[in-house]
Amino acid sequence: MVVGEAIRTSLEEVRAHPLRSFFTLIGVILGTLALVVVLSVLDGVEMAVWQGMEDLGLDGVLIVQSRKPSDRVERAKAYVSRGLRVEDARYFRDNELVSVIGPVGETRAVVTAGTVTRRVNVYGITPSFVSIKGRKTTEGRFISERDYLGSTPVCVLGFKLKEQLFGGESAIGQKVNLAGRRLTVVGVGTKFNMQFVNDDDMRKETGGVYVPFSIYEDMFGKTTAISYMLAQAVVPEKSIDAEDETTRLYARAHNGIRDVHVENVGKDILKERGNIVRILRNWRIVFFSIAGVSLLIGGVGIFSVLKISISERLFEIGLRKSMGATDGEVFFQFLVEAVTLSFVGAAIGLAGGVALVKVISGFFPAGLPVSLFGTSVSVGFAISIGLLAGLYPSISASRLEPVEALRA
């Protein structure tokens, strides 16, 4: 019997017994649908989480802040240290553990554009901030080396602040008044992915404004301009070594006075990344198991319906074998029927899964693409289950004696 005839026969069986076929395939349908939807959702969640982690911009990051010396002798000699300074960055040139370091100023001020006034966070930054945090713009450009060195009166607005000040109008080239200083907008920051990684600093940045650090010093005073220094390890996995190196270099720069604290944010981020990987892996195992059980139940249904079908078609089997059909041809016929049944269930489940993914994709800001891995695995698994479930009934049918089958 050719493959086409075997498929036709199996589809006839499905049409002849629609209710039985539906209950037979319900496990395969639900298992396939569950795998497609769950793996697509997990892929979407994973993509959003990693995008949020990237938007944090804290991989391998060290934050250096001033602190009072804890030792009594050091407190007495504190005058020999001039505290955090922009010049401290020179000690990190060509360092093998710390790639870049730069000052950051942060304060609150009033910004005005036309008739709209907001009190916002102001960030005095250098190009190192942009490099370390991976900041990008949706419009225009970010603060450049020329802006910093030339004290150019420019600014970059956070995504949310731009909407508050200018709405749908382009902000590039517009003038804003910040703490009494007139600045030209040269860029607008991106909208951070905060659906699964929600951070106060990210929220503040979207509603804040960035200015060159030199302009920040002029506006708010040079002596208190630096809120902290931002550094980044060359290799995020070696952030602890970079932390030790930064502590050592600052002790040297400050004449042995330990008046700074190095916070290893990158180490915490690395730990959280590991936790996220474990959680996502566990989710996949759980959902794979649930969907696998559904598919196994579908396999039991296919096994049962094939046994029933064989008992109903004993005369047909006997007639074919008496007319010259070999054991292999009978075996192949029923095995193809089992695979066809599972394929029909997988196709229905796949269509339902894709439709459901399209419906729930609206809840994801970046959309939710259908997981190609999920579709291929679910269909392959469903067909494999059908193949395994059909082996024993097909072998039983192929071993029937023609006379006994005809007599039955």
pLDDT tens column, 297-346: 777 777 777 777 677 666 776 677 677 777 777 777 777 777 877 888 88
Number of structural domains the chain divides into? 2
Lowest mean pLDDT across 33-37, 58-62, 313-317: 313-317
Q: Roughly what angle, to the nearest 10 degrees, separates helices 327-360 and 314-322? A: 130
Render 262-297 in DSSP notation, one character per residue: EEEHHHHHHHHHHHHHHHHHHHHHHHHHHHHHHHHH
Domain-terminating residue out of 266, 286, 301:
266
With a cut of 90, say whether residue 210 has pLDDT above it. Answer: yes
Shared domain check, 290 and 209? no
**Top-confidence residue, 371 or 143:** 143
- 220-229 burial, b for 16+ CB within 10 Å, e for fewer? beeeebbbbb
With a cut of 90, say whether residue 122 has pLDDT above it. Answer: yes
What distances in angstroms separate CA 139 from CA 88, 156, 310, 339, one per listed residue?
33, 10, 69, 54
Beta carbons within 8 Å of 380's beta carbon, 6+ residues apart: none
Task: Provide the residue count of the chain.
Answer: 408
Shared domain check, 276 and 225? no
What distances in angstroms separate CA 274 from CA 27, 349, 356, one per listed residue?
35, 34, 31
Could you tell me if residue 271 is left (phi over 0), alpha (psi between -120 and 50 degrees) or otherwise beta?
alpha
Highest mean pLDDT among 65-74, 152-161, 290-299, 389-398 belongs to: 152-161
Shared domain check, 299 and 174? no
Average pLDDT over residues 348-367: 83
Cα gap 130→127, rounded to integer Å? 5
pTM score, two decimals? Answer: 0.70
Per-residue pLDDT at 184 = 94
Q: What are phi and psi of 158, to 5 degrees?
A: -65, 155
With a cut of 80, say whether residue 365 has pLDDT above it. Answer: no
Domain-terminating residue out of 242, 266, 290:
266
Looking up tokens 């196994």 gives 296
Per-residue pLDDT at 302 = 75
Average pLDDT over residues 138-163: 93
Per-residue pLDDT at 126 = 92
Q: Which of 13, 62, 106, 35 is nearest to 267 (CA)?
A: 62
CB 311 within 8 A of CB 401: no
Beta carbons within 8 Å of 155's beta carbon, 6+ residues apart: 176, 178, 183, 184, 185, 186, 209, 210, 211
With a cut of 60, say whether residue 405 has pLDDT above it. Answer: no
With a cut of 80, say whether residue 239 has pLDDT above it. Answer: yes
- Beta strand 98-113 with 260-264: parallel, antiparallel or unpaired? unpaired
Reported as a pLDDT band with limits 50, 70 and 90, residue 72 is low
Cα gap 327→340, rounded to integer Å? 20
Per-residue pLDDT at 340 = 79
Shared domain check, 280 and 224? no
DSSP 123: E
**Top-confidence residue, 283 or 256:** 283
Shared domain check, 70 and 25? no
Reported as a pLDDT band with limits 50, 70 and 90, residue 76 is low
Give residue 256's identity as a one-letter amino acid code: G
Average pLDDT over residues 26-52: 82
Shared domain check, 234 and 316? no
Helix H or strand E encompassing 301: helix 265-312
Helix H or strand E encompassing 139: strand 137-140
Q: Roughly what angle, to the nearest 10 degrees, separates helices 327-360 and 372-398? A: 160
Domain-terminating residue out of 266, 292, 312:
266
Rounded to the nearest integer, the mean pLDDT of the chain is 81
Shared domain check, 193 and 94? yes
Between vectors from CA 110 to CA 137 and to CA 190, what angle results, nearest 5°?
A: 15
Average pLDDT over residues 189-195: 76
Per-residue pLDDT at 312 = 66
Per-residue pLDDT at 317 = 66
Neighbours of 403 (CB within 10 A): 11
**CA dihedral of residues 356, 359, 364, 366 (deg, nearest 10):** 100
Q: Which of 83, 103, 75 is nearest to 260 (CA)?
A: 83
- The model's pLDDT over 79-89, given as tens digits with 9 standing for 90+, comes to 566 777 888 88
Shared domain check, 113 and 254? yes
With a cut of 80, say whether residue 16 has pLDDT above it. Answer: no
Lowest mean pLDDT across 172-181, 227-236, 296-305: 296-305
Shared domain check, 345 and 211? no
What six digits make up the tokens of 404? 């006994």
Residue 284 domain boundaries: 3-54+272-407
Shared domain check, 213 and 113? yes
Shared domain check, 118 and 251? yes
Shared domain check, 220 and 276? no
Q: Which of 354, 327, 346, 331 is nearest to 384 (CA)?
A: 346
